[in-house]
Amino acid sequence: MLRKLPGDTARDLVSTTPDTAIVFRPTVVNTPAIVVIVIALWRFLAGIVHTVWRHPTAVASLLVPAAVAVRYGWTWAGLLVGSVLVLGVVWALLHRVSFLAVAGWRLLAFWRWMWIYRRHWQPVMVIAGLSKVMKGRDYLPVLVRVSCDDFTDRVTVKMLSGQSVEDWAKRTDHLAHAFGALSCRVSIVRAGRLLLTFPRRDPLATPIEALPIPPAVDLGAVPVGKREDGRPWTLKLHGTHVLVAGATGSGKGSIIWSAVRGLLPAVRAGLVQIIGLDPKLMELSYGRELFHRYASSPEECADALEETVALMHDRAGLYAGHQRSHTPSVAYPFVLVVVDEVAFLTAYQTDKHLRERVKAALATLTTQGRAVGVGVLAALQDPRKEVMSIRNLFPDKIALRLDESEQVDMVLGEGARDRGALADQISPIPERGAGVGFVRLETSPDPVRVRAAYVCDADIHAMVAEFASSPALPEVPSEEVA
């Protein structure tokens, strides 16, 4: 494939190879013409093979009509194209999902590869500082593949040898603007390969209504909202602890209530108990009947936490030598401690003794609770260490809208903001930004953009009406369990 750099002299030939990260620019004036032609030809052929290999559907849709036109004439080629188009439209109308899976996304990916990414790749790489010039050669990262879905373009890139993920992460802003996207996120595919995710449209731009209460509860994947790729966002609650950080009005309540909502059938079955701690007496009080235990005063909260620690130790003693993980049962339900505005207990509390009690209990629960079926879901506004010294004990973290850019890495860990978790840029307008955030799970370093479904007061009211009637089941005393 031959390309000329803007502003180059006629002699400056630029070509890309599909499988090396080197772009050859023969700036040496005396290079024999035949060598330049052979290299250019070789790269041109390699480019064709690469295109056919990567985009067979798109290439076939051009080549087959061309072949028919040559062999049988334009009328037949026109008829063929016309009937394929009609069939395609009928197929898309009748069964959009299969049409998109088989042909639609591939054609779109081919179009965007050609028109957006391939066309602008070289100047963007050069201007963004991601290419290198050494000894008269331009070294360009290779655009390996583009794939599309409903909401995003995913671009696989082969980095230059010697480049790091950080080099790319620092340029996500340049890349997003250059390729006409709202943002760009970088993740690692394997050594030397990156995946750049460019959202084309935002499925999270408008509020999401409270999700239907699932008939069966999976504690490893409780549906709480939507991900940026349009797929459901599910939260693992059992076997982990979740910390939600966000400024006032960022929608922390919507995550708490979506999680509670998703657990209700299991609560009714006695397999889950939720303990609600509400030191600001704001968020949880409206649905307090849904909780196995509800506490709002700092003393009550400290008591509730310490009782949960005692229960945890009790279970740990029982499990020792018998089992290493917890399976929820009516005898041993999963206990989720939900703490809203946790800093009111751990930092702003004036009674030092109470503060220390709460901190000690939370630290014990978050370090030892996982294996015995105790989880913590805590929400706070200010993620600084002074406010929440134990924030690193929460394996899973969610950053909703934050006031300052430095807070993003405090919540999601080093490098998260560079990788695209722009939590400080989420809109403060509730319709656009409340409940929108970034998650970074223990199992993956890449932040995922999400939006929690909004559980409004009427939804909570209906939840109380439907689920609060069942009396809380007492825990079976430890002696009764083998």
Binding site as annotated, residues: 246-253
Write down the least CB distance from residue 434 to Mg ion, Å: 11
Q: Does 434 bind ligand ADP (CB under 6 A)?
A: yes
Distance CA 246, CA 254 (A): 12
Token pair, residue 366, equals 């978050």
Number of residues engaging ligand ADP in binding (CB under 6 A):
14
Write down the least CB distance from residue 337 to ligand ADP, Å: 17
Write down the least CB distance from residue 206 to ligand ADP, Å: 8
Write down the least CB distance from residue 322 to Mg ion, Å: 40
Complex with Mg ion: residue 158 or 252, whichever CB lies closer: 252
DSSP 115: I
Subset of 238-257 contacting Mg ion (CB under 5 A)? 252-253
Q: Does 252 bind ligand ADP (CB under 6 A)?
A: yes
Write down the least CB distance from residue 330 to Mg ion, Å: 32
Write down the least CB distance from residue 200 to Mg ion, Å: 33
Length of the chain measured in residues = 482
Q: Does 333 bind ligand ADP (CB under 6 A)?
A: no
Q: Does 407 bind ligand ADP (CB under 6 A)?
A: no
Distance CA 240, CA 391 (A): 13
Residue with the two structure tokens 């919507």: 254
Q: Does 344 bind ligand ADP (CB under 6 A)?
A: no
Chosen from ligand ADP, Mg ion, none, partner binding at 454 (C-beta under 5 to 8 Å by type): ligand ADP
CB atoms within 10 A of CB 329: 13
Kindly list the strands in the beta sheet with 152-158, ordered across the sheet, starting from the edge strand earlier in the chain: 142-148, 152-158, 193-199, 185-190
Q: Which residues line the annotated binding site for ATP?
A: 246-253
The closest residue (CB) to ligand ADP is 435
Q: Does 396 bind Mg ion (CB under 5 A)?
A: no
Q: Which stretch binds ligand ADP (CB under 6 A): 144-152, 212-220, 247-255, 413-421?
A: 247-255
Q: Does 249 bind ligand ADP (CB under 6 A)?
A: yes
DSSP string, 7-44: T--TT--EE--SSSSEEB----TTS-HHHHHHHHHHHH
Token pair, residue 236, equals 């693992």
Question: Which secondary-structure segment (H or E) carries 451?
Answer: strand 448-452
Subset of 446-475 contacting ligand ADP (CB under 6 A)? 452, 454
Write down the least CB distance from residue 385 to Mg ion, Å: 22
Write down the least CB distance from residue 225 to ligand ADP, Å: 7
Burial call 168-194: b when 16+ CB within 10 Å, e when fewer:
bbbbbebbbebbebebbbbbbeeeeeb
Write down the least CB distance from residue 238 to ligand ADP, Å: 23
Q: Which stretch binds ligand ADP (CB under 6 A): 95-103, 248-256, 317-325, 343-351?
A: 248-256
Q: Does 383 bind ligand ADP (CB under 6 A)?
A: no
Distance CA 357, CA 369 (A): 17
What is the SS3 assignment for 118?
helix
Do the Cβ atoms of 298 and 337 come closer than 8 Å?
Answer: no
Per CB under 5 A, the list member of 283, 418, 446, 459 interacting with Mg ion is 283
HSE-CB for 381 with a 13 A CA cutoff:
12
Subset of 84-103 contacting Mg ion (CB under 5 A)? none
Amino acid at site 77: A
Helix-strand-coil split of the chain, %, nearest 5: 40, 20, 40
Q: Does 430 bind ligand ADP (CB under 6 A)?
A: yes
> Which of 236, 230, 212, 199 minimizes the C-alpha distance to 451?
230
Complex with ligand ADP: residue 375 or 437, whichever CB lies closer: 437
Chosen from Mg ion, ligand ADP, none, partner binding at 467 (C-beta under 5 to 8 Å by type): none
Distance CA 277, CA 252 (A): 14
**Please, which residues have CB within 8 angstroms of residue 321's CB and are 6 or more apart in sequence?**
none
User: Mask of contacts with ligand ADP, 186-225, x by CB under 6 A?
Assistant: ---------------------x------------------
Q: Does 251 bind ligand ADP (CB under 6 A)?
A: yes
Q: Which stretch binds ligand ADP (CB under 6 A): 86-94, 171-179, 188-196, 244-252?
A: 244-252
DSSP string, 53-97: HH-HHHHHHHHHHHHHHHHH-HHHHHHHHHHHHHHHHHHHHH-HH
Binding residues for Mg ion (CB under 5 A): 252-253, 283
Binding residues for ligand ADP (CB under 6 A): 207, 246, 248-254, 430, 434-435, 452, 454
